[in-house]
Chain A
């Protein structure tokens, strides 16, 4: 079909296929997508700005609320950044508990995503099935941390709650449950013909594009890039484990980089996470869970600290990075969070090129976008409420100006 017959279809900011506000401007000819223009910026909450007006311990509370699903990943990365900047050692037991929480979060996040993906395909039975399966890990998280969603578990220099002897049998029960149910998940998602027919060769991201666009997490692993922070730069208790990045060829023997491959990666990662939790539980060291239990003293120490710190963590959606700059103040001078969706955003463009309208929801969902995590900047005129888009050149110019200002 010729270009002249193309018409514009906006998807978003509010649309049933989107979990969070974000705008996609499509140009469509017939049922084929000719081009797509992404317009984020509808979900900016100024969390980093709020953080600069609070002390470090209060920021943990904020960091947890950057995203409702990565509510262990963001504080994990943030705590590691502060510990990196202030030179705080974390006790080994706390490292293991952190990893257990982070992996339980991965299990719940991936199963939640699987349900959402099935819903986008119009397969609601699988949505209900997978969310029912997810309840088990949510219950366990509530038992361990006291909360289902925002766990409130992380603290600078350790964790806030210990895993007690009484809780261990309950955790083992969940591990057994997921080992039992895993085969069912694999059957439902990987062997179902109606899911395969909608996801195979849909939304392909090639190996080259995945590298070029620096995508992260399951999105990039599904394209065959063996990229995983837990494998590449082991940290925390992950250093004791031998973690291999999961790519779809483990299951099928080939890498296509399509939506189906992203399902494979996530389903396999559920099992990997279960194994990690089991290992950590078996090798849980004894000892303290906090390097400095007195929060007032911890804050006083942090007030004396000066330096920069970077914390990285492999969140369920990919690598999350937090950057903190401490300058002998009560509040951090800079706090920057970079969520995995930010990296994966641009991989939508090659994925959506030449796809059909019917593929839009599943392709958008396939990178497991978290707009709330990702929206870090919006340019708005406070008088006219008009939003503005900066080109790369303008952005570079602004960065240069800011660096010069800071050097003065």
Chain B
């Protein structure tokens, strides 16, 4: 290994650390905003925006209890696995004008796999915690995961396929290529409707990924007292909460990168460092707007579904909407 590549390697590790910390801070901050907005919609005062940080620090000093009949290495390993896999997604997602750290070595399909790992970790942690409630929660998490994967994959395939038709030479599943050529510019009116349907599908898949109402069925506080997380406490619970916060950023950033990658700087004909700063800020505004519609608004507007109802929603209705989006985009290309 030459001297130059070692320096790049060290720099990349340093950058990865920065991104990880930044992702966690941003996630907790977004959680705070989400809670504040939800409170305002429910005509309450709500906690201060820094509340998720306070919760995190509080949990870190709390006792970490491992139940006697749990399998300790899975029980303790699951939250770490979930957090690591979620943070690693951040390395593949561009943040506005800032390109992804590992953008060249991973694509959307890798992200789809990485997104499944926290859910699998949750299932493993739930089953290994030796509680009936956690087992029921883990079963539900599995069912839910299998239900929302198909609509999610439909979106990814459709976007990649359409981009491939337009620019056959590109690496079509790379997020950089997808956000450089947003779907809206590639299609006609019919395809536009199709793209809207795909966006809708992604918006409805997100609450399940983040396990919030109406799809917080695996945790279901009033039914299962926390479900998969019922036995988790202290540091392990804090890690799961961090996972959730980072995942919120990931899902929102993914939506922004796939559907709203537009920048504001060209409008004011800015360039250079100022343009990057403005675009980065604009990206965060987009992020919060997307979180509002994907998470906050949905969770205050509806009641929790049952697991069989949620399965029907995803496997039948949402898959149908996703496939309809695919069909529209395909018809748009043929016509």
Contact = CB atoms under 8 A, between A and B. Distances in A.
Q: A-side binding surface: helix, strand, loop or mixed?
A: helix
Interface string A143-159: 00000000000000000
A91 interface: no
Contact of B223 (A124, A194, A357): A357
A121 B41 CA distance: 18
Contacts of A7: 132
B305 A129 contact: no
B42 interface: yes
Interface string A353-392: 0001111110000000000000000000000000000000
B222 A16 contact: yes
Contacts of A103: none
Contacts, number: 77
B223 A123 contact: no
A263 B8 CA distance: 65
A128 B308 contact: no
B223 A31 contact: no
B171 interface: no
Size range of the chain A interface in the assembly = 20 to 34
Interface stretch (B56-64, B65-73, B121-129, B211-219): B211-219
A17 interface: yes
B274 interface: no
A121, A195, A358 pick with most chain B CB within 10 angstroms: A358
Contact of B304 (A28, A198, A357): A198
Interface string A96-124: 00000000000000000000001111111
Contacts of A360: 223
Interface string B294-335: 000000111111111100000000000000000000000000
A27 to B, nearest CB: 12
Interface in B16-50: 41-44
Contact of A120 (B213, B216, B222): B222
Given A124-B42, A132-B43, A198 B225 contact: no
A9 B137 CA distance: 13
B55 interface: no
Contacts of B303: 118, 121-123, 126, 192, 194-195, 197-198
Interface in B111-160: 132-133, 136, 139
Nearest to A118: B303
Contacts of A122: 213-214, 216, 220-222, 303-304
Given A122-B304, A197-B309, A361 B132 contact: no
B300 A358 contact: no
A125 interface: yes
B42 A16 contact: no
Nearest to A356: B306
Contact of B301 (A121, A125, A132): A125
A356 B308 contact: yes
Nearest to A198: B303
A337 to B, nearest CB: 30
B297 to A, nearest CB: 11
A15 interface: yes
B25 to A, nearest CB: 27
A16 B308 CA distance: 22
Contacts of A198: 303-306
Contact of B136 (A16, A132, A195, A357): A357
A199 to B, nearest CB: 9
Contact of A197 (B42, B220, B300, B305): B305
Contact of B41 (A16, A125, A132): A125
B304 A9 contact: no
A174 to B, nearest CB: 19
A9 B136 contact: yes
A358 B220 CA distance: 8
Contacts of A361: 222-223
A192 B301 CA distance: 10
A173 to B, nearest CB: 21
B136 to A, nearest CB: 6
B306 A17 contact: no
Contacts of B136: 9, 28, 31, 357
Nearest to B140: A31
Nearest to B300: A125
Contact of A119 (B216, B222, B302, B309): B222
Given A123-B302, A194-B214, A16 B307 contact: no
Contacts of B308: 31, 356
A194 B303 CA distance: 6
B280 to A, nearest CB: 33
Contacts of A8: 132
Interface string A194-228: 11011000000000000000000000000000000
A120 B139 CA distance: 21
Nearest to A132: B43
Contacts of A15: 225
B214 A129 contact: no
A358 B217 contact: yes
Nearest to B44: A128
B44 A16 contact: no
B217 A9 contact: no
10 contacts: A9-B133, A119-B222, A121-B222, A122-B220, A125-B301, A129-B42, A197-B305, A356-B307, A358-B307, A361-B222
Given A356-B306, A358-B223, A359-B306, 9 more contacts: A7-B132, A16-B221, A17-B223, A31-B307, A122-B303, A124-B42, A125-B42, A194-B305, A361-B222
6 pairs of A and B residues whose beta carbons are closest in the complex? A122-B304, A123-B303, A121-B303, A194-B302, A358-B306, A128-B42
